[in-house]
Structure 1
Amino acid sequence: MAYVVPTEFVTKMVDAGESKLLMSTRDTLIRAYMAGAILALAAAFAVSVNVNSGNPLLGALLFPVGFILLYLMGFDLLTGVFTLVPLAVLDKRPGATWAGVLRNWGLVFCGNFAGALTVAVFMAVIFTFGFSEAPNAIGLKIGTIGESRTVGYAAHGAAGMLTLFIRGVMCNWMVSTGVVAAMMSTSVSGKAIGMWMPVMVFFYMGFEHSIVNMFLFPSGLMLGGKFTIADYMIWNEIPTVLGNLVGGITFVGLTLYSTHYKTAPKRVLG
């Protein structure tokens, strides 16, 4: 599990941001679609574990399997490109522009949403035997999650919105730390361990992940959750996306870039 020092893995971060920024539309969409689908399946798996075992910690311990798989296969989540892609512009890489950053973010959002929605439909079919009967216990739990994390926030007004946003910030602080942690090792086992730890923290703490929510909330609507599409967008997805953006670029991308890539001059002792 060879360790890569910060000056080297932060260079890898900038290189990765440049690569994603210059990627074709087709490849960006395919990779984002698969990332959204795999992470959604991992979320369904974790909720199933929670319901069947009654132990939320067990679900959090196992959820990172989806994140690890999609990363190792080179797929892209919105949370990761929020952190990595702007670094290519900051480093003035050829062809890197803020318009290109926004293009990448938009394409990855659409791909992630399509992938997560596909799995949401599939799982809703499974939980209801093709919508022929009431949802099973796992389906009912997903509906409850959708209610508590939309109208539950709305019930607290501005304080609820602030809490939602901060949970989004904290989420991508952890998730993007997982993305970077994978670059700290040159072995598959080292990458997996590095990703597993912060992703487990985010899931167990109930932080808000925009792509996981692209699965949970559409699923909840299909499974009888008592909230609306407007509730989902206003009181979850949009603030979560903004929180994920701030958390990833501020606490991971910019901090590592500014201290390990653009290091300040050393002090002169005298």
Structure 2
Amino acid sequence: MADASPALASPAEIARALSDTCVEKATLSSGKMIALGVLAGAYIGFGSLVAVLIAAGADDLPHGLAQAAAGLGFAVGLILVVLAGAELFTGNTLMTLPLAQQRIGAAQVLRAWSLVWLANCVGALLLVLLALGAGVHLAGDGAVATSAIDLAADKSGKQPAAIVASGVLANVLVCLAVWMAAGAKSAVDKAAVIVPPIAAFVALGLEHSIANMSLLPLGLVAQATTGAELPHGLSWGAAGANLAWSTLGNLIGGGGLGLVYWITYGRER
């Protein structure tokens, strides 16, 4: 007899399940947290590479379609994180839900956020170095390098307030993808609910700190190795500022979403 259960749990059920998951994540040993964080940074980096590759070949598409296509490619990163299992800083901002429920403490949350953020950065940088060593940026007669440089220049050229606002919006969408995936019953269902919000945030050009850990260095090093002209405003300092402001925006967006769901469903525990 076919299973008649819905493909997606109810919002209240998701809140309970995700709260349990966040408690488990917050209490991981430092070694596991760092190892899984490195993996997540690399997994998101794979999504960044695919997005840059698609963007490099989408010059003839109308504005909007090209960005949407790149977003579909980037979704592979979060699918890998969720299905293969890894620790992603931006998804872990939802720990505000069990924090508000007093199931974990502020020190545990800050430890998880800081360790995973740093580990994500290490994983992203390692992925970028391997990709450059493999010559991925030289594909399409250098079109991929040009795409990476242009994207990095666009991100580094934004003003702090715009980056923070963009980071809020980006992580609301990322955390909604994580939220819905927590309520999906199968791997196929999880992948299906992840793709739309992730494709949307990429298509809208929003700022995701962990994605930028691979996108910004990729553009900067591709520029240095190919000898392309350095776009105005693109520098390591500007990249660092982008990461700082986008991280703040991501914290506000994901953490705020977790608190909204605590107010709505989290008090039912």
The CA deviation at 1:33 is: 0.6
C-alpha contact 1:139 1:223 (8 A) present in aligned 2? yes
Instruction: Give 1:260's aligned residue.
Output: 265
Deviation per CA, 1:105-126: give whole Å up to 9, x if none. Answer: 1110111001100111122231
Between the aligned partners of 2:136 and 2:83, the Cα distance in structure 1 is 29
C-alpha contact 1:60 1:201 (8 A) present in aligned 2? yes
Instruction: Give 1:267's aligned residue.
Output: none
Between the aligned partners of 2:137 and 2:120, the Cα distance in structure 1 is 24
Choose from 32, 35, 40 the match for 1:35. 40
Choose from 47, 50, 58 the match for 1:45. 50
Choose from 102, 105, 115 the match for 1:92. 102
For 2:144, give the aligned amino acid.
I
The CA deviation at 1:209 is: 0.4
> Are 1:79 and 2:90 matched, yes or no?
yes
> Are 1:176 and 2:187 matched, yes or no?
no
Q: How many residues align?
A: 246
C-alpha contact 1:40 1:116 (8 A) present in aligned 2? yes
TM-score under structure 2 normalisation? 0.87
- Structure 2: which 5+ runs fail to align? 1-5, 60-65, 224-229
Instruction: Give 1:238's aligned residue.
Output: 244
For 1:211, give the aligned amino acid.
I
Between the aligned partners of 1:89 and 1:172, the Cα distance in structure 2 is 18
Between the aligned partners of 2:239 and 2:47, the Cα distance in structure 1 is 21
Deviation per CA, 1:116-148: give whole Å up to 9, x if none. Answer: 00111122231467xxxxx81111221122222
Within 5 A, what are the aligned runs for 1:2-17?
2-17=7-22
C-alpha contact 1:127 1:136 (8 A) present in aligned 2? no
> Are 1:215 and 2:222 matched, yes or no?
no
The CA deviation at 1:257 is: 1.5
Between the aligned partners of 2:137 and 2:151, the Cα distance in structure 1 is 17
Between the aligned partners of 1:143 and 1:43, the Cα distance in structure 2 is 13
C-alpha contact 2:100 2:259 (8 A) present in aligned 1? no
Deviation per CA, 1:166-193: give whole Å up to 9, x if none. Answer: 1000000000000001022211121111
Within 5 A, what are the aligned runs for 1:90-239?
90-93=100-103, 96-125=104-133, 126-127=135-136, 136-150=142-156, 152-153=157-158, 160-224=159-223, 225-226=230-231, 227-234=234-241, 236-239=242-245
TM-score under structure 1 normalisation? 0.86
Between the aligned partners of 2:137 and 2:70, the Cα distance in structure 1 is 22
C-alpha contact 2:96 2:259 (8 A) present in aligned 1? no
Deviation per CA, 1:202-246: give whole Å up to 9, x if none. Answer: 111110000110001111221224422211112x10000000000
For 2:207, give the aligned amino acid.
E
RMSD: 1.6
Between the aligned partners of 1:124 and 1:140, the Cα distance in structure 2 is 14
Between the aligned partners of 2:137 and 2:80, the Cα distance in structure 1 is 28
Identity between Structure 1 and Structure 2 (%): 28
Between the aligned partners of 1:145 and 1:3, the Cα distance in structure 2 is 35
C-alpha contact 2:120 2:210 (8 A) present in aligned 1? yes
- Structure 1: which 5+ runs fail to align? 130-134, 154-159, 264-270
Between the aligned partners of 1:76 and 1:261, the Cα distance in structure 2 is 22
Between the aligned partners of 2:162 and 2:33, the Cα distance in structure 1 is 32
